Structure 1
């Protein structure tokens, strides 16, 4: 795995974060100058917030609270699922990249 592949994954994380968090382009520009670990941590925090929001909405629907429709619950649950699947794939690729770097000889 090359540096460009890792940068591509980072771009995917940023795009996912903007979609999930409704971020602006100025936030993306600021994030581009910060560390990889900070970006990864913020992405995981947004993933957690997306899941919490989806589970909260599902619980509200189950309790019969007014104003919560099944359509909204299903859409939020799918967004949370897609976000989680993306995070798992990023983790898998980062693990593979790390293993490849550890196997390199000098």
Structure 2
């Protein structure tokens, strides 16, 4: 007894969707692991000063932007076909840059407040 054609194609679609979900889950786990290592890199140690911590954070943002650019270039060349991977890398870089801008704005505001203080 063979399965009807509609049932067979439905099963194939479900299996293809399952495979996509597994691939995306693996990609998210890789990104999460990379973010975990970045967070550990940014944790201040006892001998690390503010400037070193800030430089490490900026280096992390720069690395995220570099990864996003390389994945985008690979997608444009046809080397990478997963548009979700490209979009995730670009979003990660964008969020990291936006967070950096917010920190810069807060530091500038704090500096201005200190400069307005009377001695």
Same-fold call, TM > 0.5?
yes
Q: Could you tell me which residue of structure 2 aligns to residue 71 of structure 1?
A: 84
Residues 13-72 of structure 1: CA distance to partner in whole angstroms, max 9, x if unpaired? xxxxx986432886565x24210110000000010000000110011001001x441000
Q: Could you tell me which residue of structure 2 aligns to residue 4 of structure 1?
A: none
- List aligned pairs for 1:46-57, cutoff 5 A: 46-57=60-71
Is 1:35 aligned with 2:49? yes
Large movers: runs of 4+ above 3 Å: 18-21, 24-29
TM-score of the superposition, structure 2-length normalised?
Answer: 0.64
Unpaired runs of 5+ in structure 2? 1-31
Q: Alignment partner for residue 104 of structure 2, among 79, 84, 91?
A: 91
> Looking at CA atoms only, which structure, 1 or 2, has the larger radius of gyration?
2
Unpaired runs of 5+ in structure 1? 1-17
Q: Distance in 2 between matches of 1:93 and 1:101?
A: 12
User: Cα RMSD (Å) of the superposition?
Assistant: 2.4
Which of the pair has the greater relative contact order for Cα pairs under 8 Å at 6+ separation?
A: 1
